């Protein structure tokens, strides 16, 4: 319940073609806390099981969160520098009013490269890895409890894709209601379809391969932040 509630609360802070329902409270710091709570809930359910596979999955979930979430945070800080505000809607509005910037383009690429792992899809489903650790943290879950985690996972997919679409690819913000929301949903659907295609054609990466990949992506995100600080 905590994982699902945190994911849904993060969704209420996320622009989806228009100002989010909790727009006055939707700053990137609160958003980051909520996303972290959802990940921590997954780790806790893994550590609460006596299964060694569950413990391994929980450890991998922690590892993936540590190396993946900095990409999102750095990219949001980049957008905050450009917008001179921490509010999610202000970031989306800045891009609409000022157009593309080098730092925002680089940040969008970095966030797109991290999207696959943020929502736990191949080749980065290392924490669950059904063929290796049989579901990892969820190995002993079934029925309603497993469904809650699956719903939380689906909600996180929409949230992460919406952040990328709303702040870094906000092409539909200028449209009148409801076209702005439809344009945003079209972008989100396109991103999720892309994630699905990558998921079905790629094998799982080894842990050391995934770590090397994300060190490179974090480096790209840092480049975007440096460009934003420099005014580009």
CA distances from 112 to 28, 68, 84, 177, 218 (A): 18, 12, 23, 27, 12
Q: Which of 8-12, 101-105, 204-208, 220-224 has the lowest mean pLDDT?
A: 204-208
Better-scored residue on pLDDT, 174 or 118: 118
Whether residue 64 is predicted with pLDDT greater than 90 in this model: the reply is no
Q: Is 79 helix (H, G, I), strand (E, B) or coil?
A: helix
Better-scored residue on pLDDT, 74 or 131: 74
Cα–Cα distance for residue pair 125/204, rounded to 1 Å: 7
Better-scored residue on pLDDT, 133 or 2: 2
State residue 151's pLDDT score: 93
State residue 7's pLDDT score: 93
Summarize pLDDT for 148-184 with one digit per residue, the tens.
999 998 999 999 999 999 898 877 767 777 888 888 8
Mean pLDDT of the chain: 88
Summarize pLDDT for 19-62 with one digit per residue, the tens.
888 878 888 899 999 999 988 998 998 888 888 888 888 888 88
**Residue span of the structural domain in which 159 resides:** 2-229
Identify the band that residue 193 occupies on the pLDDT scale cut at 50, 70 and 90: very high
Better-scored residue on pLDDT, 32 or 128: 32
* High-pLDDT (> 70) share of the chain, %: 99
Cα–Cα distance for residue pair 9/35, rounded to 1 Å: 9
């Amino acid at each position: 319940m905590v994982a699902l509630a945190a994911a849904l609360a993060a969704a209420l802070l996320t622009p989806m073609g228009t100002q989010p329902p909790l727009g006055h409270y939707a700053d990137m710091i609160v958003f980051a806390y909520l996303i972290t709570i959802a990940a921590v809930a997954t780790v806790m359910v893994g550590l609460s099981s006596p299964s060694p596979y569950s413990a391994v999955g929980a450890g991998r979930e922690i590892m993936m969160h540590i190396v993946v979430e900095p990409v999102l945070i750095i990219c949001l800080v980049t957008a905050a520098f450009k917008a001179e505000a921490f509010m999610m809607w202000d970031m989306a509005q800045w891009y609409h009013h000022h157009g593309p910037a080098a730092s925002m383009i680089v940040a969008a690429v970095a966030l797109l490269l991290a999207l696959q792992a943020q929502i736990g899809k191949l080749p980065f489903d290392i924490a669950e890895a059904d063929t290796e650790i049989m579901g990892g943290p969820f190995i002993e879950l079934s029925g309603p409890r497993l469904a809650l985690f699956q719903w939380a996972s689906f909600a996180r997919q929409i949230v992460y894709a919406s952040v990328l679409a709303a702040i870094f690819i906000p092409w539909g913000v200028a449209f009148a209601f409801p076209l702005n929301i439809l344009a945003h949903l079209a972008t989100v659907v396109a991103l999720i379809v892309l994630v699905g295609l990558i998921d079905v054609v790629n094998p799982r990466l080894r842990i050391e391969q995934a770590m090397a990949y994300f060190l490179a992506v974090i480096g790209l995100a840092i480049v975007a932040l440096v460009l934003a600080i420099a005014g580009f």
